[in-house]
Structure 1
Amino acid sequence: MNRRRCVAAAITLVCALTILTAPTAAYADPRPSGSGSSGSDSSGSGTGSAGSGSAGSGTERLEAVRQKIDDLYRQAGAATDAYNLATEQSEKQSSEIVKLAQRIVQGQSRITALKKQAGAEARAQYRDSGLPPAAQLMLSGDPDSFLDGADRLRSGQQAQKNLLAEMDQTQKDLTAYTQDAGDQWQKLDANRAKQAKKKKDIQQKIEAAKKLESGLAKKERARLKKLEEDQEFKAQTAWLSSGILKEIDNKASAEGKKAVKFATDQIGKPYVWGAAGPHSFDCSGLTSQAWAAAGDPIPRTSQEQWKQLPHVQVKDMRPGDLIIYFSDATHVGMYIGDGAMVNAPRPGRNVTIGGAGSMPILGVVRPDK
Structure 2
Amino acid sequence: MRAARYYGPKDIRIEDIEPDTVGSNDIRVEIAACGICGSDLGEYVGGPITIPDEPHPVTEEHLPITIGHEISGTVTEVGENVDITIGTNVVVNPIIWCGDCQYCHEGNYHLCTSGGFIGLSGGGGGFAENVVVSAEKIVPVSDEIPIALAALVEPFTVGVHAVERSGLKSGNTTAVFGSGPIGLTVLQAALAAGAGPVYVSEPNEARRALARECGADEVIDPTEIDPVSYIMGETGGGTNTTFEVAGVEQSVNQALTTTKSGGTTTIVSLFEETISIDPNNIVMHEQTVVGTAAFKGGPLSGREFGTTIRNFETGVFDPTPLVTSRINLNDLVADGFEILLDRNSEEAKILVQP
**TM-score normalised to structure 1 length:** 0.24
* More helix as a share of residues: 1
* More strand as a share of residues: 2
